[in-house]
Chain A
């Protein structure tokens, strides 16, 4: 019930490509869905987040698509750059102030 399943485990794209990372959840009580970006040796940094009353959110080159009926959400990175090479984690939370449940992570490589 508390799990968030993330795919793919790894992803390689060319510069300018649009990598898509998918997450699925079971717990309908989740009310907040963030994506984190983590570089080696650093803590995760919040990239973008969405709430279930919105189907899409865009911030710069990053877009979250949210499908409430399918209990799925995805991250799209437009015009990807080598500097986007990192590990991406989706997460979900039940209520404000409570713990985050993380997906397994996706290691993204953007080749020049």
Chain B
């Protein structure tokens, strides 16, 4: 199955700034998914990123706050903009492996906004 390298693993950011999270996959994948996981909670899908097209955002998430880039089939970035303490969370990227291998997740980015 695919291997994902997600960076940074953690960061502490000032209110009002932005953080860009990167996910690099070791194989070409069509769809990449970005999730948010608040402490002790389940995973909530932010958006689905398809190479060559605009990301599709879930209800409650907007492009101005969570811009996503997907320049090729192995890489994507999620930016969390205009940070507030409510954005403190774990952010995860995920891909659907080919041939029924299931979905692989990155190790996550723990964001703390102060």
A residues sitting closer than 8 Å to B (CB atoms) are: 34, 36, 41-46, 49, 89, 96-100, 102-105
**B24 within 8 Å of A by Cβ?**
no
Given contacts A97-B30, A97-B96, contact A105 B41 (CB under 8 A): yes
Q: Is the interface of A mostly helix, strand, loop or mixed?
A: loop
A102 to B96 CA separation, bound complex (whole angstroms)? 15
The smallest beta-carbon distance between A94 and chain B, in angstroms, is 12
Q: CB distance A45 to B105 under 8 Å?
A: yes
Given contacts A43-B108, A45-B105, contact A104 B42 (CB under 8 A): yes
The interface residues of chain B lying within 8 Å CB-to-CB of A100 are 33, 43, 45, 94, 103
CB neighbors of A among B45-59 (8 A):
45, 48
Most buried by A among B45, B92, B103, B105: B103
A97 to B30 CA separation, bound complex (whole angstroms)? 8
Instruction: Kindly report which residue of chain A lies nearest to residue B47, judged by CB atoms.
Output: A99
Q: CB distance B42 to A103 under 8 Å?
A: yes
A34 to B94 CA separation, bound complex (whole angstroms)? 14
The smallest beta-carbon distance between B91 and chain A, in angstroms, is 10
Given contacts A34-B103, A43-B92, A89-B42, 13 further A-B pairs with CB under 8 A are A41-B107, A41-B108, A43-B108, A44-B43, A44-B92, A44-B105, A45-B105, A49-B102, A96-B100, A97-B30, A97-B96, A100-B94, A103-B42
Q: CB distance B96 to A96 under 8 Å?
A: yes
